[in-house]
Chain A
Amino acid sequence: MSLQEIYQEVLLAHNEHPNNFFEMPDAISKAHGHNPLCGDEISVFLNLEDNKLKQISFTGQSCAICKSSASLMTEYLKGKTADVAKKDALAFIELLNDPEKAVPENLGEMEALLGVRKFPARLKCATLAWHTFLKALEQPSKGETVSESCSCQHNCCC
């Protein structure tokens, strides 16, 4: 369990220059996620067109793990249909939560996030953006909501 496993170069780069890190004023849906114990805070914005994620962005104040996870997530989900994006997000949360689970081959840069599986105290940092995304997807309204729970089967919601 070394620091390089959790702070992989890819993540540090996304932390420094996150993708899709902006507020979307015309978002069709947004949700706010918050870990009250440690202070990670994130907002996820979505725009759907023909049931596809045309745009996805985030803002917030959070640690390197949370921020890089959010940045990777936006790239990973952009362009997918709402149903596929939901399924993929749930599968990734599942993968983060279960160190025994086999790693699929198509993860690309996101594989770097799996180092967190050896740092249970940081798991919530990695999953916060994903839970917040699911919340935004489930409640397509402009009202801001706190992502206290989502449709995942884990006790990892913040």
Chain B
Amino acid sequence: MKSPQATFDAKTIRKDFPALTYCNAQGDPIVYLDNSATTQKPQCVIDALEDFYLHKNANVHRGFYEWGNLATQAYEGARKTLADFIGAEHVEEIVFTRGATEAINCLAEIIAQHHFQKEDEVIVSELEHHSNMIPWQMQQIKRGIHVKGWQVDEDGNLDVKQLDQLLTPKTKLLAVTHVSNVVGTTPDLKNIITQAHANGTMVLIDASQAVAHLPIDVKTLDCDFLVGSGHKMYGPMGSGFFYGKKELLEALPPYHGGGTMMETVYIDSFTPAAIPSRFEAGTPPVADIIGLGEAIQYLRQFTWESLTAYEDKVIVYAEHALQSVPNLHIIGHPQKRTAVISFNIEGIHPHDVATVVNDHNIALRAGFHCCQPLMRRLKCNGGVVRASFGLYNTCEDVDRLVEALKNAQSLFKL
């Protein structure tokens, strides 16, 4: 691999993403600001998918022929790439899934099976996406545990002092996001994890919104579990993963039953396979996982210093530029913001804002963003408009957005 580039030039980078050349019927080039929902894919990721289906389409861990070997090598290569990317000590600490939602559902079930007793508690923060809430609520129904909410303040920040009050001897797990998909809040995880561990509480981090934007080192963080989504880090849809500390994963039971997850099978019993295969029953999305590995290689050509410096510059610019729009209110004021800004404009419903800016070929999202409890807390009962950024977004994209928002105001005679 080439050594990472210390300089970062978004204009050059945009050429790696063929979808960004799209223009609408009026000739306006696309401004893609829905990266929290999914990112666009660089050509190398698209090529990796095509290469798999053209030259190594075989199932993994089974074939005795050339393609089978190639597919297995590429799939396991992606595991090694991902382990290095997030600083996992052991490659078998990485389990591939079809997305972050599947990862959390799997973990919630197997952690609950092994660790939870009736009346135990799980804390979830109000910043969480529904996918890091509902799987725990389902365990509440199934096993009689209690799900407790960790409130955010009006700025969308989490207060560590409050966590102290929530933790009890019965608190088995804390589920918290690395970056909020609505407010962009980036909690001080190191501090949070230390505090939870002091109480004997395990911590699961939802890094779906973080992996493409921030360096993650699971050893430094000392988190017990961490999940991520491939398609939000320039990889294919249908790819995701979880990390778990080796000794924790080794104690957990399998999730789905099927091929790969077992060692010996009798007509009435089986013995589970070692990790990570134990949690990867059935044919995995091989091409998508290989594509995810390719997306990580793509990201690794940049130093984190240059990438985060650039993305911070654009988000700070966006925050200032949006504030210049009359009657626009930015939702939440996180102590540290990553990649996302949500806002509302007085007198125009979020849907109408999104429809009007679409006319300018600007893609962004309006609504609840799978965060109904957070919307309620922030008193945004009609939802919010969200602009979420990727490494290819520029300050010019922000200018186009601001112009389109002013146009929405004039259309609505505001």
Residues of A within 8 A of B (CB): 2-3, 6-7, 12, 16, 36-41, 61-65, 67, 119, 121-122, 125
Contacts and interface: CB of A to CB of B under 8 A. Distances in A.
A38 B366 contact: yes
Given A119-B355, A122-B355, A62 B349 contact: yes
Interface string B197-223: 000000000000000000000000000
Interface in B316-352: 348-352
Contacts of A16: 413
A122 B351 contact: yes
A38 B383 contact: yes
A48 B161 CA distance: 56
23 contacts: A3-B355, A3-B359, A3-B411, A6-B355, A7-B352, A7-B356, A7-B411, A12-B413, A36-B368, A37-B368, A38-B351, A38-B366, A38-B383, A39-B367, A39-B381, A39-B382, A61-B381, A63-B349, A63-B351, A64-B351, A64-B352, A65-B351, A65-B352
Nearest to B25: A1
Interface of A is mostly: mixed
Given A62-B382, A65-B352, 18 more contacts: A3-B411, A12-B411, A37-B368, A38-B368, A38-B383, A39-B350, A39-B368, A39-B381, A39-B382, A39-B383, A40-B351, A41-B382, A61-B382, A63-B351, A64-B349, A64-B412, A119-B355, A122-B351
Interface string B357-379: 00100000011100010010000
Contacts of A61: 381-382
**From DSSP, what is the main secondary structure of chain B's interface residues?**
mixed
Contacts of A125: 351
Contacts of A64: 348-349, 351-352, 412
Contacts, number: 55
Nearest to A64: B352
Interface residues of B, number: 19
Contacts of A121: 355
A125 B352 CA distance: 10
Contacts of A62: 349, 382
A62 B382 CA distance: 7
B347 to A, nearest CB: 9
Nearest to A121: B355
Contacts of B412: 7, 12, 64
Nearest to B384: A39
A126 B166 CA distance: 44
Contacts of B366: 38
A38 B411 CA distance: 22
Contacts of A63: 349-352
B367 A38 contact: yes
* Most chain B C-beta atoms within 10 Å of own C-beta, residue among A2, A16, A38, A41: A38
Nearest to B368: A39
Contacts of B348: 64
A39 B366 CA distance: 9
Contact of B359 (A2, A36, A37, A40): A2
B79 to A, nearest CB: 35
Most buried by B among A6, A7, A67, A121: A7
B239 to A, nearest CB: 24
Contacts of A119: 355
Interface string B391-414: 000000000000000000001110
